[in-house]
Structure 1
Amino acid sequence: MNSKAQKMFEAIRDNELEIAQVFFNESLELAMEEGDLEGLSEFAEALHHAGFLSEATTTYQLLKQLAPQYEEWDLYMAEIAIDNDQISEGIDLLLQFDSKSELYPNVLLVLADAYQSLGLYEVSEQKIREAMSLLPDEPVLKYALAKLFYTIGSFKKAIPLYEELFEIEEEMPWEDNIVMQLAECYHGIGEFEEGIYYLEQLQTSDHSSDSLFQLGFAYLQTQAYGRAIQIFEELLEKDPDYLSVYLYLAQALEADQRLPEALEKMLLGVKENPFQAEFYLAAAQLYRKLKQTEAAEALLDSALEFEPEFVEAVLLKVDMAMDGERYDEVVAYLESNPDNVNQPYYQWRLARAYNELEEFEKANDYYKKAYHYFVDNLDFLENYSEFLQEEGNLDMLKEVVEQALLIDSNNQYFMDIMINRLS
């Protein structure tokens, strides 16, 4: 890059954009005078990486004027167009390349990226495989195919490709990414032990915050709670701003029968991130398990202040009121919002509350409404069948029992009703 280009980047760093534009124009003029293709190419690449896509394109257009014999200018301009969401323009540039061009494998790889961004994953795969047929031993292409499968969730296809890349002895720029992505592929198919194996290959100093989280999560899934706790605490020490880990650390502590410590960590999470409703819910659930109802309800109220439609928090608040036999409170709270009466989970709670209040007609109405949603839910069907037996509604009871036995033909509870009440 010439001195004018360097001054342009200095002006950008100082947020002097008008001055930067002047230096940009002067840099192009100077490059044309000097015929400095290498410096101009470096300048264009730097502009692209810095996100100045329009200026980078202008620079490559100038390079094309100065040295039209080099095809790479069109390739780079196509990459910029795709980065700038001008995908059709980028594809048009790429399709002009001859298949005999030395750059054709690169063209195919950029085309694959373009088609992937359009959601045309099969076409993207075809382009990568075509490039691999030209350069069968090129690791970059194998990584591109593995990354495509990883991105679209085809983990079983990605795994053997990543494992081949993992065995390459020479250092590759994406080496740590391979470990992370390979582990995530194994986690995605439920093989957490395999994911742990690869993540444990990283040295402690090589772990990113995300890879530490993945490792802790994998140990949590394999019920190695002590190791999960250790990893999550390591992560918080390394990166105190990785706040989502508080939820999983609390889960691991709870699973390890350390409820007070789980609550302590979750309350710390609430303190660190007071606008995350899920943190309040998790802490409230722990308070409930520790029989501290008032503290749990206070946290739920705080969560619902800034996220009133947080369904899980509403359900927990209602269920705690049901546990306390505060049925009038349940009805008043849920029916205060007209939208609630159309929500199946709330309809079920309202049905139960009205049944306890001996307002059976209203209970029946809500059970009937909820039934359409919970037709495959055995817990609901059992609760509804209890109500129908008390009401003596044998026709509806028969329908509910038959539906339940379609789901689980060996369910003893429903078999007994069929034999003793409906035969």
Structure 2
Amino acid sequence: MAEFYSIQALQAIEEGDLIEFQLLFEEALINDPDEVKEQLAYQLLEIGFIQQAEQLFERLLEAHPTQHHYRLPLIDIAIDNDDIDQAEYHLDQIPQDDESYPGSLLAAADLYMTLGYPEVAEIKLKEAHELLPSNATIQFALAEYYFDQANYEAAIPYYTYLAKLRLPEFKDLFILDRLGMCYSYEGEFEEAVVVLEEALEDERRDETLYQLALVYIQLGQLEKGISLLEEIRLLGELRAGGYLALASAYLDEEEREKGEEVILEGVKHFPYNSSLYHLASDFYFQYHDEVQAEEYLRQVISFEEDSELSKVKLSFLLLRQERYDDVIEMLAELGEAMTAQGHWSLAQAYVGTEDYPKAFKHYQLALPGLAEDPEFLKEYALFLREEGENKLAYHVLLRYLQLVPEDLEMNDLFEQLRE
């Protein structure tokens, strides 16, 4: 009995003979029975021969127009090709009483996510879930939807359901990892530990080690967290966030040399990660090396597209050293994009250069963004008092005392201003 052309076509792919494959595919399209064509279509779809798979599904649908399950892969292909009209056409052709309708709802959810309508996608997923409440694929789709929307609380029940099933087809989707991450992001660290430790028993993956290490650190179990992060580090797989967490854990354990080693290694491996440079600067400032602290901030400023945060942070150091002109020169570059914190630093710098009108201007600009900051309000009130702006000082001090009513010295000043 002659072998089906479909089988020969797949063998040609395995042998890397794409010309022969195309010839055999054309024969299969014409001569093979429909059930064999269907198998070939799904296999081609799986290995990335999308155009040929699409041809097969279209041919099968022409031959069997009421077999709407053939529309589902065609919808997915249309979405991937940004052919929204074609995707919507096939979706509209599937009746609600057809067995393929729940699958079409999943496809519709994908379409609406692509179009930027996540709320509509959620409606479609929920409708599918109502029709088939025990369907694992729909449960997974809902779990992933809520995870991607950062609604971890909503995702937890669906991942929990799947974790209990332990279906082999979901093994490579690492359901326990996802569930553990959801608990972690929700701040339920004890639950996260239980789930992630179970995941680690199933398979010792770097991602699981990393997530569990972060949870241990959150729980204050620094030694356990350090141990897992060091395991990943030895494999050369530690990401930037891992270096940050590991260095911070060492510093919390007062292991200064190890903390410094990890920071410097992290900067070397991730030379454009701003957070690592900030941690390096903080480290050297803490240990009284202001030259190095400044150098790391200047390095990060040199490559950041938006360097305002780093510039404001550097301004604190420069103000401490009374380098007022340097602060003015650096922050003046920010112009109208400057935040309230930047205006505050600039005001302090102008006070240092005795340019009080400009200091007043920047205190005023900082006020709306720092109206809840007691330290700023107190400083600004005292500045206004010195400048003879007693009415303004009164109102600023009134706000300050609402936040810090126990400050007796400022209460006395407030009474003086009220008289």
TM-score w.r.t. length of structure 1 = 0.87
Mapping of 1:13-412 within 5 angstroms? 20=18, 22-23=19-20, 25-68=22-65, 70-168=67-165, 171-174=168-171, 177-203=174-200, 206-240=203-237, 242-307=239-304, 309-335=306-332, 337=333, 339=335, 342-406=338-402, 408=403, 410=405, 412=407
Q: 2:188 and 2:412 mapped to 1: Cα distance?
A: 40
Q: Any idea what the Cα deviations from partners look like across 1:137-195, whole Å, max 9, x if unmatched?
A: 32222232233222223322222332233223554515753212222222232212211
Any idea what SS the aligned residue of 2:272 has?
Answer: coil
Asked if structure 1 preserves the Cα contact closer than 8 Å seen for 2:177 and 2:199, the reply is no
Any idea what SS the aligned residue of 2:369 has?
Answer: coil
Q: Which amino acid aligns with 1:323?
A: R
Q: Any idea what the Cα deviations from partners look like across 1:52-72, whole Å, max 9, x if unmatched?
A: 433432232233345556332
Q: How far off its partner does 1:349 sit?
A: 1.0
Asked if structure 2 preserves the Cα contact closer than 8 Å seen for 1:270 and 1:276, the reply is yes
What is aligned with 2:9?
A: 4
Any idea what SS the aligned residue of 1:315 has?
Answer: helix
Any idea what SS the aligned residue of 2:198 has?
Answer: coil
Q: How far off its partner does 1:322 sit?
A: 1.4
Q: Which amino acid aligns with 2:178?
A: Q
Q: How far off its partner does 1:7 sit?
A: 3.0
Any idea what SS the aligned residue of 1:167 has?
Answer: helix
Q: Which amino acid aligns with 1:3?
A: Q
Q: How far off its partner does 1:239 sit?
A: 4.6
Asked if structure 2 preserves the Cα contact closer than 8 Å seen for 1:53 and 1:84, the reply is no
Q: 1:341 and 1:73 mapped to 2: Cα distance?
A: 55
Q: How far off its partner does 1:409 sit?
A: 6.4
Q: Any idea what the Cα deviations from partners look like across 1:223-262, whole Å, max 9, x if unmatched?
A: 2222221221122234525343111111222222223321
The structure-2 alpha-carbon separation of the partners of 1:409 and 1:87, relative to structure 1 and needing over 3 Å to count, comes to farther
Q: 1:81 and 1:341 mapped to 2: Cα distance?
A: 43
Asked if structure 2 preserves the Cα contact closer than 8 Å seen for 1:259 and 1:286, the reply is no
Asked if structure 2 preserves the Cα contact closer than 8 Å seen for 1:351 and 1:367, the reply is yes
The structure-2 alpha-carbon separation of the partners of 1:186 and 1:415, relative to structure 1 and needing over 3 Å to count, comes to farther
Q: How far off its partner does 1:299 sit?
A: 2.3
Q: Which amino acid aligns with 2:390?
A: L
The structure-2 alpha-carbon separation of the partners of 1:355 and 1:218, relative to structure 1 and needing over 3 Å to count, comes to same
Asked if structure 2 preserves the Cα contact closer than 8 Å seen for 1:213 and 1:231, the reply is yes
Q: 1:226 and 1:244 mapped to 2: Cα distance?
A: 18
Q: How far off its partner does 1:318 sit?
A: 1.9
TM-score w.r.t. length of structure 2 = 0.87
Q: How far off its partner does 1:364 sit?
A: 1.2
Identity %: 28
Q: Which amino acid aligns with 1:254?
A: L
Asked if structure 2 preserves the Cα contact closer than 8 Å seen for 1:246 and 1:265, the reply is yes
The structure-2 alpha-carbon separation of the partners of 1:176 and 1:259, relative to structure 1 and needing over 3 Å to count, comes to farther
Any idea what SS the aligned residue of 2:67 has?
Answer: coil
CA RMSD in angstroms comes to: 2.8
What is aligned with 1:15?
A: none
Q: 1:5 and 1:169 mapped to 2: Cα distance?
A: 32
Q: 1:119 and 1:217 mapped to 2: Cα distance?
A: 32
Q: 1:153 and 1:342 mapped to 2: Cα distance?
A: 30
Q: 1:372 and 1:287 mapped to 2: Cα distance?
A: 33
Q: Any idea what the Cα deviations from partners look like across 1:116-154, whole Å, max 9, x if unmatched?
A: 433434433333333333333322222322332222233
